[in-house]
Each structure stands twice: as structure tokens, then as C-alpha cells.
Amino acid sequence: MSDILSDLANQKNMLFNLTHLHASDGYLFHHSVNVAILSGIVGIAKGYNRNQLMDLGVGALLFDIGMTYFPDQLWQKRTQLNKEERERLSKHTEEGFNLLRKQFDISLLSAHCALQHHERYDGTGYPRGLKGEEIHEYARIVAIADVYCALTSARPYRKAYSPNEAIEFLYANGNRWFDLELIKIFVNHIAVYPLATTVLLNTGQIGVVAAINPTSSNRPIIRIIAETEDAPQLLVPYEVDLSKQMNITIIKEL
């Protein structure tokens, strides 16, 4: 985690592009690393000191450690969990906390990332039904990164959401499930569509991400290179700022 934080802190101008990560085999491991990186980016954006970043980062890296108490076939199940299975799986927050709080080299604040990452801002989460600032800020950050990474990764029971769809989900649940102010920081410091990504627009046009809007990273500036998928490439490409053209959206990456 110290190495990850050093890389992030020393390359602040690259933070946007460090987040274009995809989980493959070993989902739980890759997911945890991705959540730790995204949480670290938010911590840096908030001006956390080195000790705070380490507590947040270690907590984010190990937040789902309680899942290792359960058989893979339970949390990788391709069909909907029944009530008994959901209740059993929900115990992973307390299992993880009890494991981490006993480690002499892991802070209690880090352990609370495991305990509280399924608490929800409106008090509807578990295990304790905490709400608002009753939930530690580290856990509120991890919750956002966790859901974003989970949504943008393909799972046995569903296809992956697009980055833009995941961002819309977070905003739709701002100050309901998640801290809205932390969502804004999160969205403004990740590259939903990194530079040079080729995308298809809802207009049928093909474009390349030319610049990222710092206040609206899910609506970048697109350099149009073809008017349709089948049309020849334009001799003179032109740019469209999606933050100003709200009727134009990105359908998918190509």
C-alpha cells in the first residue's frame, strides 16, 4: 500500500488515467486492489496526510477480507441469493472487522472500513444501521469505490455496467446510500473515459477522448473522427465538449 500511495502522490497529473482498471480472474483480489487505488486517490484529493492515507489505503485493501470465511460458490452464485444466504453473507463485515482488529499492525480505523463499508448514508445499511457522519469517512469512501468497481466489472449473474452508468448510479444514490460530497470528489478525480479512448456516441459518431473536463470527468471533450461507424475517417476532425452538449452521450467504448 505504501508503494501504491507513493506512485499516486508522485504522479498527480496522471491520477485520471490510473483508474482505468478491469477485474479478471481472481476477482476478489483485483477488486480489493482497485478499491484501494480509487480510495487512495480520493484521500489525496481531500489532502489526507501520510498516516491518514495509510490507514485508509490498508483499510480499503482489506475491507472485504471477511469474504474469505465463505465458500466461493456462495458469493459467486449465478442466481439470486435466498434470504438465508444473504444473511450469512452479510456477516462478512463483522468477520472482517474481528479479524483485522486483532492484528497489532493494523489500525482500528482501517478495521472499521471492513465493518462499515455496507452502512448506508440514510441508515438503511448493515451491520449497525449507522447513518451520515456516524459512518467513518474512510468507510464512506471505500463504499463508493467498492460499488463503482463492482458495477464496472462483469459478474457471473450480469454484464458489466459502463463507467458512465456506474457514475449515474452513484449520483442517483447521493445522500441516500452514499455521501454526495465524496461522490463529487470521486467523480472529479477518476477517468471515466481516459485520454485516447475511442468511443461511440448516441449520435452514431465515432470519436476519441481528447481532454477530460476536471469538473465533469464523465463528460469529456471528444474529437470526432467519423460521422458513423461505417463512414471514412474525417480529413479534418473536430471537437465536441460533452459538458456543454448535454444531449450527446457516450454509448460505449470501442
Domain-embedded: residue 71: yes
Confidence class of residue 10 from pLDDT cuts 50, 70 and 90?
low
Mean pLDDT of the region 62-80: 79
Show which of 162, 188, 214 is a domain's final residue.
188
Domain-embedded: residue 208: yes
Sign of CA dihedral 9, 183, 144, 214: negative
Show which of 188, 212, 242 is a domain's final residue.
188
Domain-embedded: residue 193: no
- Is residue 197 over pLDDT 90? no
- Is residue 21 over pLDDT 70? no
Q: Same domain for 208 and 234? A: yes
Q: Same domain for 155 and 239? A: no
| Three-class DSSP category at 144 | helix
**Would you say 144 and 170 are in contact if contact means Cβ atoms under 8 Å apart?**
yes
Express each pLDDT in 72-95 by its tens digit.
777 667 777 788 888 888 999 999
Domain-embedded: residue 244: yes
Question: What is the per-residue pLDDT for 74?
Answer: 72
Show which of 133, 158, 188 is a domain's final residue.
188
**Would you say 183 and 144 are in contact if contact means Cβ atoms under 8 Å apart?**
yes
Question: What is the per-residue pLDDT for 20?
Answer: 42
Q: Same domain for 154 and 205? A: no
Separation of alpha carbons 179 and 122, rounded Å: 9
Q: Same domain for 182 and 246? A: no
Residue 66 burial (C-beta neighbours within 10 Å; 0-12, 13-18, 19+): buried
Note if the pTM is more than 0.75. Answer: yes
- Is residue 211 over pLDDT 50? yes
Q: What angle do CA 184, 189, 190 make, to 5 degrees?
A: 105
Separation of alpha carbons 21 and 163, rounded Å: 11
Separation of alpha carbons 23 and 34, rounded Å: 8
* End-to-end alpha carbon distance in the chain: 32
Range of the structural domain that residue 244 is part of: 198-253
Average pLDDT, the chain: 86
Structural domains counted in the chain = 2
Separation of alpha carbons 129 and 228, rounded Å: 50
Which CA distances in Å does 89 have to 26, 81, 117, 128? 19, 9, 14, 15
Domain-embedded: residue 160: yes
